[in-house]
C-alpha cells in the first residue's frame, strides 16, 4: 500500500507500514454504524467514548448513525508514556451522565491486553445500565490477557504497537488519518 499520497513524512521514517487505511476505516465504520442502527432500532443509545484515543472513532462513527444517540466521555489511562499497559487503570475524567436504565455503548479505539476495558465494564456495570456493549475499531487477539466480549469490531490486527487515528505514542501521531505500525527505534523496542 502506497503512503506517499498522504504526504506524511513520518511514514517510512517513524512509521513502518500502514495497517488500516483511511478508506478502510471509513468503510468499516459505516458498516458498524448500520449494525448499531439495526440493533438499537427505536431505542436511545448513550455512546461513551474513552479518551483520548477514541476521539476520532467516536466522531466518525457517530456521523454514520441514524439512531437516537447521545454522547459522554470518560478519560482513563493505563499506558502513560510507554507501549505496555501498566495494568493499573486510573479515572482521569468521569462521566457527567447517570447510567441507570440507559442503553450504553462503549466506543474504543483499540483493545490490546483488554485490561482497560475489562476494568471499565466492571465499573460501568455497577452503575445500573439497562444494557452495556462495546464497539472498537481495533483489536489485537494475540495480546489478550483477559477476554472482552466485543459486539461491534472494526479490525483484528497483529500484535504490534500502532499509532494514528487517535492512537498515540507519548501524545504524538494521533492526527494521522490511518493506523500504522510505529518503528521500534522510536520507543527503543
Ligand X SMILES: O=P(O)(O)OC[C@H]1O[C@H](OP(=O)(O)OP(=O)(O)O)[C@H](O)[C@@H]1O
Ligand Y SMILES: Nc1nc2[nH]cnc2c(=O)[nH]1
Residues known to be catalytic: 112
Min dist CB 30 to ligand X, Å, is: 22
Of 114, 129, 154, 164, the one binding ligand X (CB under 6 A) is: 114
Residue pair 20/179 in contact (Cβ under 8 Å)? The answer is: yes
Min dist CB 168 to ligand Y, Å, is: 5
Identify which of residues 80 and 184 has a Cβ nearer to ligand X in the complex.
80
Min dist CB 41 to ligand Y, Å, is: 33
Is residue 79 close enough to count as binding ligand X by CB under 6 A?
A: yes
Q: Which of 115, 112, 71, 120 is nearest to 91 (CA)?
A: 120
Beta bridge partners of residue 4, listed in sequence order: none
Distance CA 114, CA 148 (A): 6
Nine-digit cell string for 129: 445500565
**Residue of closest CB approach to ligand X:** 53
Identify which of residues 52 and 64 has a Cβ nearer to ligand X in the complex.
52
The 55-74 site mask, x for binding ligand X (CB under 6 A), equals --------------------
Residue pair 41/66 in contact (Cβ under 8 Å)? The answer is: no
Phi first, then psi: what are they for 100, rounded to 5°? -55, 120
Is residue 78 close enough to count as binding ligand X by CB under 6 A?
A: yes
| Site residues (vs ligand Y, CB under 6 A) | 79, 110, 112, 161-163, 167-169
479515572: which residue's cell? 91
Helices 55-62 + 22-39 axis angle, to 10: 60
Binding site for ligand X (CB under 6 A): 50-53, 77-79, 85, 108-117, 168
Amino acid at each position: 500500500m502506497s503512503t506517499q499520497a498522504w504526504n506524511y513524512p513520518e511514514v517510512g521514517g517513524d512509521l513502518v507500514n500502514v495497517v488500516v487505511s483511511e478508506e478502510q476505516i471509513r468503510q468499516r465504520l459505516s458498516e458498524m454504524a448500520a449494525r448499531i442502527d439495526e440493533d438499537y432500532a427505536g431505542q436511545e443509545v448513550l455512546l461513551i467514548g474513552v479518551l483520548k484515543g477514541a476521539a476520532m472513532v467516536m466522531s466518525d462513527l457517530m456521523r454514520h448513525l441514524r439512531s437516537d444517540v447521545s454522547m459522554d466521555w470518560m478519560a482513563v489511562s493505563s499506558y502513560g508514556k510507554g507501549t505496555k499497559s501498566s495494568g493499573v487503570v486510573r479515572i482521569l475524567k468521569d462521566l457527567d451522565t447517570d447510567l441507570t436504565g440507559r442503553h450504553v455503548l462503549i466506543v474504543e479505539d483499540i483493545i490490546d491486553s483488554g485490561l482497560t476495558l475489562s476494568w471499565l465494564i466492571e465499573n460501568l456495570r455497577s452503575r445500573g445500565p439497562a444494557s452495556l456493549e462495546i464497539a472498537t475499531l481495533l483489536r489485537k487477539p494475540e495480546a489478550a490477557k483477559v477476554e472482552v466480549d466485543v459486539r461491534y469490531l472494526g479490525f483484528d490486527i497483529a500484535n504490534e504497537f500502532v499509532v494514528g487515528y487517535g492512537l498515540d505514542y507519548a501524545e504524538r501521531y494521533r492526527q494521522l488519518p490511518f493506523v500504522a505500525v510505529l518503528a521500534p527505534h522510536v520507543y527503543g523496542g
